[in-house]
Each structure stands twice: as C-alpha cells, then as structure tokens.
Structure 1
Amino acid sequence: MTIKLKPLKDQVIVITGASSGIGLVTARTAAARGAKVMLIARSEAELGDIVRDINNGGGHADYAVADVGNADTLAAAARATVARFGRVDTWVNDAGVAIYAHLIDTPEDEHQRMFQTNYFGVVHGCLAAVPVLRRDGGALITVGSIASDIPSPIMGAYAASKHAVKAYVEGLRIELHEQAPAISVTLIKPSGIDTPIAQHAANHEGGEAQIPPPAYDPQLVADAILDCAEHPRREITVGGAGRAQVLFAQHFPAIFERLAPKKVGALSDMSKQQPRPSNLFEGVRAGEERSGEQHPLTTSVYTSAAKNPGVVAAIGLGGLALAAGALAAVRRRRS
C-alpha cells in the first residue's frame, strides 16, 4: 500500500517537547508554512507565550500541558487536539532530556527518569498517536539521535535510551505495516544540534556541558521533520558529520573507542561555567531555540541528499572509502 500524506498547509501537527530546541523550531516553522499546530510540553506559561506569538503572526496554534512520561496526560493531549482541530495528520515525538555522567556514577533515579522521558515518552506518544492517525492515515515521526547507532562516553545513559527508541520505532513500523498500513513511521537521527539540551542536562561532570562541534542548526532538523510529514520515509540522519561518525564507529570500533573519550573531553568544554538546574524532573528555561554559545552549520549536503536514497548510499560509500584510506595511512606510518 502506498502511503499518501497531505501537503503541510492542510495538516494538523502535534509536537511534543515543543517549548524549546528542535520542537520549538519545528512548531514555528510548521505554523509559518500553513499547518495547524498543537504544542505539547510541561511549561504552561512559556507555551502560552509561544502560541500567542504564532497566532498573532497569522498562524494557527494551540497548546496542551503534558509530561510525556505520563501516558494519561499525553493521551488527554491527543484528545484535546482532535477536539480543537478535528484530527491529527502528523505526530512528532520530540521531547527529550540528557544526563552528563559516567555510567557507574549516574544516580539511579535520574537514569530511570531519563528513560521515562526519552524512551517511555516515545512509547506513550505512539500509543496516543496511532488511534488518531489510524482513521485517515498520516505520519508518526520520532526524533532520535545518531547516539542510537554508536556508544557515547559521558552520555552513555542518554545513548542507551536512544538505542531503545530506535528498537521500539523499528519494531512498531513492522507491526503497523499490517495493522495500520496508512501510517508512515519515521525515525529522525540528528547529529550534534545547537539546542539548549546540554545546558538543560543533569550534569555530574562539573562546568557547563556543550555539544561538541561541529553542531548543526536546529532548523535543519525541523525541515527534515516537516519533509517527512509530507513524504513517507523510514529514517533520515541530519548532518553529514554525524553520519560519517557512525560509519567510522561501525567499521573501525576499536579506534573509535580510543578516540571517543578524547573527543568528548576535549570538545565538550565542561570547565567554563557552573552547571545550571536541569530539566530532568521538571520544565525549566523553556522558550529557547538555540544554546547561544555555538556557531552552528546551517547547511548539510548529506541531509539535502537524503531525499534521494541512491545519492545517500553513494555518499555513505564515499565516506567509508575515505575513512578506510585514512586508517590505511595511519597503519603505514606506524609500520
């Protein structure tokens, strides 16, 4: 069965984690392109301000307060969307939190809370979305991470949650192929993105965490999400640097394992400032799209080419060839 998705201007879109970062950029962009948008997050005051700005600018938006870790509040938000706009055409699971800590030093309550948001938040989102999407079809889009494909020191618990998200989404896609074939199931895997996620993270490493460069602008992720709202796709990686990192890790794991701690330690820059209160257990500092501390890349040839799977395959093979050449050169120097 060929899945047909509506033009963005004719859609009703639900976005979780919509009060900051990728979710906020996506909500504003979708509304600017004519979609009706329901924003979901924990921070009611900030959501109200954001929705007012969108509506005053000629868009159509509303909000529902919900914690994605609580299935009942998220299901209520889905019902509120149907009551307000009549239906749901695209559901975007975007809410997420992070922890910076060595795995053996990660407090168990924080570890469990992060999984409640990052993993069970996706589970609850899908359970709320499928019944409302099943009627007329639509897109079910989840924002994961390249961390679902590689290990990550200092952010090992975060990477574990994203591995779980990937497994859930891929399993759900197979099941819905038979049960609800009109629903397109997509996983978005951003590279490092210039959002406040590191500043909002629970941080046990000292100093203020930052996303190691190169970081990409969240607008690239928003554009990828909205492209998948109109065109059925299994997955898209946002940022060629992240895709190259995954390929290197998968094909040269021993070297990656030696280099990864140095990369995080050298580039996270965790000694400049004191950590801020985290948003792990409650919403804080909503309304911010970017960190304000990066100079993000605003283009990605790889992501642009992702609309053509053949081009992506060629780029991936080329990147792997370059990585193999670099490894061979290192071995020659050592010998």
Structure 2
Amino acid sequence: MKPVPKPLPQQTIVITGATSGIGLATARLAAQQGAKLVLVSRDEAALQTLQHELSQQSSAQIIHVVADVGNRSDLEQVAKRAVERFGGFDTWINNAGTLVWGRLWEVSEADLRKVFETNFWGVVNGSLVAVEHFRRQGYGTLINLGSALSEAVAPLQGIYTASKHAVKAFTDALRIELRHDNAPIAITLIRPSSTNTPINDRAKNYLAHAPHLPGPTYAPEVVARAILRAAEYPQRDVYIGNSKLITRAAQLTPQLFDWVAVKTLFAAQQSKTLDTLQSDALYEPIDSGSVRGRNPGPMFRHSLYTHMSQQPSKTAVFASVAGLALYSGWRLIKTFKAD
C-alpha cells in the first residue's frame, strides 16, 4: 500500500538532534509552515530556548523532550509524549549525529563505540520506535539521515563513515521488510554532501591540526528543505548537492576513488593550524543553538540537482520545453542556411 502523507501544516513531526545544525534548520522551517513539533535533544536548556523562539515566531504547537538517542527507552518516552500531547505523530526524523576525527587505530574503543551508539543505534532505536507507532496508527513517514559517505568513504572520518554505511543498510532492510508486509510506511534516506553545521566544531579530534570538512559545503537549510519535501512527497533516496556524484564515483570506480582519497583527502580535511579548541560533544552536549558551523571555503545555499530530483514532474516539463526550444532553434538555423 502506497503511503499518502498529509500536507506539512497538518503533520506532527518528531526531530532528533533538533537544537543545532540540520535539525535546528528543519525545526525552524517546519514551524514556519505550521507543523506541530516534538523537539528532541540531550540539551534541556537549548530545547527550552528553541521552543520559546519558535513559539514566539509562529503559531506552531511545540513540545520538547530531553533524550539520548542511544537509549531506546528515552525514545519510547518521546513517542509517548507525542501521543499524549498530539494524539500521535506523522513523520519521525532521525537526525542526531556525532563525529570523531582521527586514524582508526588512534581512536579509543570507547569513542568508536560512542559514535556508533549515536549515529547507528540512534537511528535503529528511533526507527523501530517510530515504526511500532506507525504500524498501530496505519501510516507514517520515517526519514533517516545518511550521507554522501553512506557508500563512499573518507579517511580520518573512518568510524563516522562506517556508521553511515550501517545506517543505509539498516534503512534499506527495514524498507524491504515493511514493503513485504504491505505496511503503508514511507522510508527516505537523506544523503547530504559536506554540510556546514556545528558538528565539526564540536567533534572530538585526535589530529594535531584543526580538521574541516572537504569543500564545497552546503548550507544546512538546503538539507532541511529536502527533508520537509520528503515528509510530504516521500522518495527512496534524496541526494544533496554533489552527493550522488561522490556515490557513483565510489561505486563505479572504487580503485580510482581510493587513489584520489589517498592523494587528496588527508590534506583537504586538515588545516595548517594547530587545534587549540579541543571541543568534544561526544558524551555531553555543548554549544547547541547554531545552524551553521565554521567550516572554511565556499558554501552553497541551494542545490539545483536536489530541487529538480524532488520535483520530477516539473523537471520533466522543464526538460520537454527546453528540448522543444533547442529543436526549434536547430530547425530555424537549418532554414536560414537553406535560404
């Protein structure tokens, strides 16, 4: 059965990692469009501030729940609160994530496990809690945050890359199992390219120099718009920016991709400045409340590819008109030459 989501202003949306980066951009945009929101984060103070901000700026109905996505029981409480306040929820967005920089053999086992606990088990926990509710409710949309690194890899982000590969595999398997049961639940994997969020500013760093994401980066709002579009018009995969190009390069030319990564990505992901910040939000939340980070280099505020891929009907009309115009121009030139 094909799911038919409600219009966004009629939806109740759960967002994990809602107090910074992509989650914060998504919460603000969803509130502007009138959706009811359940904001989730580890940071109580940041959640209270965000709820107050959004309530002042829009008429959206909003609650917040403090939760660590690595704990299933925390997310069960999120679902319970959503049901108590709004009678349920229509879309669940698994956005929370964390990052550690360093060569894999240098990162402690505890830190490796913590990244997976948040990035992978957070998605597993949120997905299964959401799906249990959706199966009872009879419909729903699940949106998981993957990455351009869901199939490609980046050195010095090894455990993050592994977690995003795992998220893709879990999401695909869950989709197939639900489809087999004819459950009217839509599942989308969002696959951003480098995005200028505060995740890098708060990442634990084992490198001597300050790390940064390889450019160009995209504004978090680009991803937020794609997420909310998928909440109304679900797609299997949504690629942001040059994410699909990176994915195809890794799939079709893996040896070349490895060679390019060895030659370019170590330098492209490290500045020449020693890392004096040494910030670390791996175990405790810090510096919430910002949409954008301090990543250097150019940042794109729009992705034409993503916009067109999420509106195939309009894209087809545009392509037809463009093709007709080119054909008419070609015929006109031939006519002038014949004369």
Assess same fold via TM > 0.5: yes
Q: Unpaired runs of 5+ in structure 2?
A: 320-339
Whether the 8 Å CA contact 1:101–1:155 is kept in 2: the answer is: yes
Secondary structure of the 1:270 match is: strand
- Note the alpha carbon deviations across 1:143-173, whole angstroms, 9 max, x for none: 1111111121111111111111000000000
**Counterpart position of 1:325:** none
Q: Cα offset for 1:212?
A: 1.2
Q: Using structure 1 for the length normalisation, give the TM-score.
A: 0.89
Whether the 8 Å CA contact 1:212–1:264 is kept in 2: the answer is: yes
**Counterpart position of 2:201:** 199
**Counterpart position of 1:42:** 42
Q: Using structure 2 for the length normalisation, give the TM-score.
A: 0.88
**Counterpart position of 2:256:** 255
C-alpha distance in 2, partners of 1:27/1:180?
A: 30
Whether the 8 Å CA contact 1:13–1:36 is kept in 2: the answer is: yes
Secondary structure of the 1:271 match is: strand
Deviates more, 1:297-306 or 1:66-75: 297-306
1:55 paired to 2:25: no
Secondary structure of the 1:200 match is: coil
Secondary structure of the 1:290 match is: coil
**Counterpart position of 1:74:** 75
**Counterpart position of 2:122:** 121
C-alpha distance in 1, partners of 2:32/2:246?
A: 33
C-alpha distance in 2, partners of 1:177/1:261?
A: 40
Q: Cα offset for 1:279?
A: 1.1
- Note the alpha carbon deviations across 1:93-118, whole angstroms, 9 max, x for none: 00000111111212100001111111
Whether the 8 Å CA contact 1:201–1:280 is kept in 2: the answer is: yes
Q: Cα offset for 1:131?
A: 2.1
1:137 paired to 2:142: no
**Counterpart position of 1:9:** 9
1:21 paired to 2:24: no
Whether the 8 Å CA contact 1:199–1:276 is kept in 2: the answer is: no
Deviates more, 1:266-275 or 1:95-104: 266-275
C-alpha distance in 1, partners of 2:302/2:111?
A: 35
**Counterpart position of 2:304:** 301
Identity of aligned residues (%): 39
Q: Cα offset for 1:309?
A: 5.9
Q: 1:261 to 1:199 in 2, by over 3 A?
A: farther
**Counterpart position of 2:216:** 214
Whether the 8 Å CA contact 2:14–2:39 is kept in 1: the answer is: yes
Residue type of the alignment partner of 2:303: S
C-alpha distance in 1, partners of 2:111/2:194?
A: 22
C-alpha distance in 1, partners of 2:182/2:40?
A: 24
Whether the 8 Å CA contact 1:91–1:129 is kept in 2: the answer is: yes
C-alpha distance in 2, partners of 1:124/1:41?
A: 14
**Counterpart position of 1:156:** 158
Q: Cα offset for 1:34?
A: 0.7
C-alpha distance in 2, partners of 1:33/1:213?
A: 31
Deviates more, 1:182-191 or 1:257-266: 257-266
C-alpha distance in 1, partners of 2:130/2:20?
A: 21
C-alpha distance in 1, partners of 2:79/2:289?
A: 22
Query: Which is higher, the Rg of structure 1 or of structure 2?
Result: 2
1:276 paired to 2:266: no
Q: 1:293 to 1:253 in 2, by over 3 A?
A: closer
Whether the 8 Å CA contact 1:214–1:297 is kept in 2: the answer is: yes
- Note the alpha carbon deviations across 1:210-234, whole angstroms, 9 max, x for none: 1111100111111111011001211
How many residues are treated as equivalent by the alignment?
A: 312
Q: Unpaired runs of 5+ in structure 1?
A: 316-335
